Each structure stands twice: as structure tokens, then as C-alpha cells.
């Protein structure tokens, strides 16, 4: 394995970049809700409002990425993204005396995070063979999970040894983001490729856009209110949240490559439809576990739902492999992914505010009942996915060699 990676330096670099990005992201996600609750005293309604500025960079991404794509390659965009995330993490830990500063640094981190989301899967596709897109993206997801293990493991140990030292957590997270940026910067993918277009909106991609909106629902239920149930209602400490991330990431090291193989084997329609059904199970668990099960079994069930949802996040790459299969032109992929992220963030920015009001007015169960209803609708939407037979299309496959393979429409 090591010998093969040395012969493919771009593959080694992107795996290391994913590893360090996973560490930085794991540290941030495992500590943010406790940081906001314990240090700045945010409640559910304020936490919902915070999602608006945090997700604003994602909403604007098609414009930001469009401008960047006219001036730099995807690998350079990824490097810039990691520098922004590093600055945001360090600022959050050391330059946040009030909520205004907190919002600024979170937005800066989020900007870097979302720029990377627009380019990481397209970069992975450049290193994938035809028919093996899910496998390659799954391998990169496995590397990211391995990094997350290191990141949340560090948080868990430091929290046990030193307490909740958020300044130290975010300093380490910033260093990991800079390391990821260095490896992304050294990638040589994309030389000689057709330049990506600034903006792409095609009618035939409308199902991809709809699925992107569904992912916005899923993401916010997990990131904002799924974690908030554990932190605010069950008073779960940061060390336990980090441990849950650690468990999910350990499973993800093995599961993400396997899920990538499942995408290649069963196809995006089956995989994404099953994902929506599993999300329905997660939402119902958050809503009713404490009513149906006695303590502490209800909390253990919620831990299981939390870990399951984290593992299933690996299926999000099915959206990108589906887009590649229906894309009229390979140059459409990165700007279309950016537009998809903008669409999912249109949902992600509005849903938490509404959900925060619902939580306060009617109780947290209604937040997850509404989300579960949306997941059920998403199941039927995903059943409409079809990959049409079309003329042979060529995609980058050789990574640093620039070789290309062509799909055979007769197969």
C-alpha cells in the first residue's frame, strides 16, 4: 500500500490533507456546542439564530467559488480554505471576548469549511477510475475519519487531564487545518483540465439540487439540534461528545470505504433512499427515546442514534457521484457542487431559526417530528433518481498523469 502511494504522490497528498482536515473538523464539531453553552451561555433559541451567520458562507458559496474558479485551481482553493479555517479556529479560542467576536470567527471558519466542501469531492473524482468513484471518495472519507479520531481523541484526553480548555482545543485545530492546507497546496491535479465555469444552472440537474436541499435539513438537525438535545437536555459533557465522535470516526475508517463500494454496487437511488429512511429513524429517536425508555437507557439509545447519523454522513458523496454520471460536461461538476451547497444552505440558514422558535414554543419533539416528515418526503424523492444512458463521456482518471478514461454507453 505504501509503495503504491509513493508511486502516486497526488493520492498520498490528498489522503494526508483529508487526514489533517478531519482532525481540525473533529475538534471543532466536538467542542462547539459545549463552548457556546458553557462559555457564552447560549440557549436553544440563540443557538438557532447563530446558524444563520454560520451558514451564510455556504449560501453565498456559488458566488465565492465562482470567482475563485476563474483565478485558481481547485487544489489552490482548498489551500486557501484551510488557512481561513485555521484563522477562525484560533480567533474563536483566543480573541472572542463577546458574542460579536464569536460570530465573526465562526463565520471565518465556516467560509473555509464550505469552500473546501465545494472542491474536495471534485478533487477526489480526478483520482477515480470510471465506475469506482464511490470507492475513491469513500477512501478519502476514511482518511478524514482517521483524522477525526486523532482530533476528538486529543480533545477527550485533554478534557480529562486539563478540563475544557477551549483555547488549547482550537489552537490544535488551527494547526491541523494549516497542515491540511499545505498538502492541498502541493497537489498537482488539474493541470491541462478544461476550466470550470463560473456559474452553472441546468434544468437536467434539478433532482441533484433537490437532494442538496434535503441534505441541508439533515445536516442542521444533526449539527445544531441533535447535539443540542444531548448537551442542553441531558447535560452531556464535552469529553463524552468527543468520545461519541471518536467511536463514529473509528467505525467510519472502515465503513466509509465500504459505503463507497456500496454506492458503486447498488447505485445512488437505493443508497440515498435508504439514507432518508435511516434519518427518519434518527429523528424519531431524538423525539421519543426519553418517553419510551427509562434512564439511563434513553441516553444510551440517543448515543447510538448520534453515532449512526455520523456514520451515515459518509453517504453524502453519493450526491456527487450521481452528479458526475448525469453531468453534461466534466467542467460543470465543481460549480454545480457549489450551487448545490448554496441550495442546501438556503434551507440550513432558515430551518434552525424556525426550529429554535418551535423548540421554545412547543417543545423539542416537534422539531424532530417535522424533520422526520421531511426525511420521509425525501425517501420518495430519491426513488426518482435515474442515471440515463448517454453518449460516451471522458473524465480525468489518472490523477497526476492527466490520463482520461471514457465510459462505454453499451455497458
Tens of pLDDT, residue by residue over 37-63, are 888 888 767 876 787 788 789 888 888
The 3-class secondary structure across 197-230, one letter per residue, is CCCCCCHHHHHHHHHHHHHHHHHHHHHHHHHHHH
How far is the C-alpha of 190 from the C-alpha of 72, rounded, in Å? Answer: 10
CB 99, CB 40: distance < 8 Å? yes
Instruction: Tell me whether residue 311 is in a domain.
Output: yes
Mean pLDDT across the stretch 331-336? 85
* Separation CA 12–CA 26 (nearest Å): 21
128/2: higher pLDDT:
128
Distance CA 261, CA 255 (A): 10
DSSP state of 96: -
Give the pLDDT score at 397: 39
Please check whether residue 155 is in contact with residue 169, taking contact to mean a CB–CB distance below 8 angstroms: yes
**Residue 346 resides in a domain:** yes
Element housing 324 (H / E): helix 317-326
Over residues 206-211, mean pLDDT: 90
Contacts of 393 by beta carbon, 8 Å cutoff, 6+ apart: 327, 330, 406, 407
Give exposure, 196-218, as e/b (b: 16+ Cβ within 10 Å).
beeebeeeebebbbebbbbbbbb
Q: What is the pLDDT, as a whole number, of residue 191?
A: 56
At residue 158, the pLDDT reads 92
pLDDT at residue 196, rounded to an integer = 59
Q: Please give the pLDDT value at position 395.
A: 40
Mean pLDDT of 210-223: 77
- What's the CA gap between 80 and 303, in Å, rounded? 35
Average the pLDDT over 303-331 and give the result: 87
C-alpha cell, 205: 440537474
Instruction: For residues 381-393, give the mean pLDDT.
Output: 71
Percentage of the chain beyond pLDDT 90 is 33
CB proximity list for 384: less than 8 A, separation 6 or greater:
207, 269
For residues 100 and 113, what is the distance between their CA atoms, to the nearest angstrom?
Answer: 20
Question: Is 343 part of a structural domain of the chain?
Answer: yes
Alpha carbon of residue 263 to chain centroid? 17
> Is residue 266 assigned to a domain?
yes
From the list 235, 109, 118, the residue with the least C-alpha distance to 177 is 109
Indicate the number of domains in the chain.
1
* pLDDT tens string 165-186: 999 999 999 999 999 999 999 9
Domain extent at residue 179: 2-188+202-387
Q: Is position 196 within any domain?
A: no
- Is 406 within the bounds of a domain? no
CA distances to 46, 355, 371 from 278, in Å: 29, 21, 12
- For residue 395, being part of any structural domain is answered with no
Q: Alpha-carbon distance 354 to 351, whole Å?
A: 5
Nearest residue to 264 (alpha-carbon basis) of 326, 318, 320, 334: 318
Could you report the per-residue pLDDT of 106-154, keeping only the tens digit for each? 999 999 999 998 899 889 988 888 778 888 999 998 899 899 889 988 9
Is the torsion defined by CA of 215, 312, 174, 117 positive or negative? negative
SS3 80: helix
Q: What is the pLDDT of residues 270-281, one digit of tens each?
A: 999 999 999 899
In a domain, 206, yes or no: yes
Range from 75-84, 174-183, 219-228 carrying the lowest mean pLDDT:
219-228
CATH code for position 300: 1.20.1250.20
- Per residue in 81-119, pLDDT tens? 999 999 999 999 999 988 899 999 999 999 999 999 889
Amino acid at each position: 500500500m505504501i509503495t503504491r502511494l509513493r508511486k502516486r504522490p497526488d493520492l498520498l497528498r490528498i489522503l494526508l490533507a483529508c487526514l489533517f482536515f478531519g482532525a481540525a473538523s473533529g475538534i471543532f464539531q466536538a467542542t462547539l456546542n459545549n463552548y457556546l453553552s458553557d462559555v457564552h451561555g447560549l440557549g436553544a433559541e440563540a443557538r438557532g439564530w447563530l446558524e444563520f451567520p454560520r451558514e451564510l458562507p455556504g449560501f453565498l458559496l456559488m458566488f465565492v467559488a465562482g470567482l475563485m474558479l476563474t483565478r485558481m485551481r481547485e487544489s489552490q482553493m482548498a489551500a486557501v480554505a484551510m488557512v481561513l479555517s485555521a484563522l477562525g479556529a484560533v480567533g474563536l479560542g483566543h480573541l472572542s471576548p463577546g458574542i460579536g467576536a464569536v460570530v465573526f470567527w465562526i463565520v471565518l471558519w465556516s467560509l473555509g469549511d464550505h469552500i473546501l466542501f465545494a472542491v474536495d469531492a471534485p478533487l477526489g473524482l480526478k483520482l477515480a477510475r470510471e465506475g469506482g468513484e464511490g470507492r475513491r471518495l469513500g477512501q478519502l472519507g476514511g482518511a478524514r475519519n482517521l483524522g477525526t479520531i486523532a482530533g476528538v481523541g486529543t480533545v477527550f484526553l485533554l478534557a480529562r487531564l486539563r478540563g475544557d480548555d477551549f483555547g488549547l482545543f482550537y489552537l490544535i485545530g488551527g494547526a491541523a487545518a494549516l497542515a491540511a492546507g499545505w498538502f492541498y497546496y502541493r497537489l498537482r491535479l488539474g493541470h491541462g483540465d478544461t476550466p470550470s465555469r463560473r456559474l452553472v444552472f441546468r434544468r437536467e440537474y434539478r433532482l441533484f439540487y433537490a437532494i442538496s436541499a434535503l441534505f441541508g435539513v439533515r445536516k442542521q438537525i444533526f449539527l445544531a439540534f441533535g447535539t443540542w438535545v444531548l448537551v442542553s437536555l441531558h447535560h452531556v459533557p464535552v469529553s463524552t461528545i468527543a468520545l461519541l465522535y471518536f467511536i463514529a470516526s473509528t467505525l467510519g475508517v472502515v465503513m466509509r470505504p465500504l459505503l463507497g463500494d456500496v454506492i458503486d454496487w447498488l447505485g445512488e437511488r437505493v443508497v440515498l433512499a435508504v439514507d432518508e429512511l435511516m434519518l427518519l429513524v434518527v429523528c424519531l429517536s431524538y423525539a421519543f427515546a426519553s418517553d419510551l425508555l427509562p434512564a439511563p437507557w434513553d441516553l444510551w439509545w440517543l448515543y447510538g442514534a448520534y453515532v449512526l447519523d455520523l456514520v451515515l454522513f459518509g453517504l453524502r458523496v453519493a450526491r456527487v457521484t450521481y452528479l458526475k454520471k448525469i453531468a453534461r460536461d466534466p467542467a460543470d461538476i465543481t460549480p454545480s457542487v457549489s450551487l448545490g451547497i448554496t441550495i442546501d444552505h438556503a434551507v440550513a440558514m432558515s430551518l434552525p431559526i424556525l426550529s429554535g422558535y418551535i423548540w421554545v414554543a412547543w417543545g423539542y419533539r416537534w422539531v424532530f417530528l417535522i424533520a422526520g416528515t421531511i426525511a420521509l418526503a425525501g425517501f420518495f424523492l430519491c426513488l426518482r433518481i435515474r442515471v440515463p444512458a448517454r453518449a460516451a463521456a471522458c473524465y480525468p482518471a489518472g490523477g497526476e498523469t492527466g490520463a482520461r478514461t471514457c465510459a462505454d454507453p453499451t455497458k
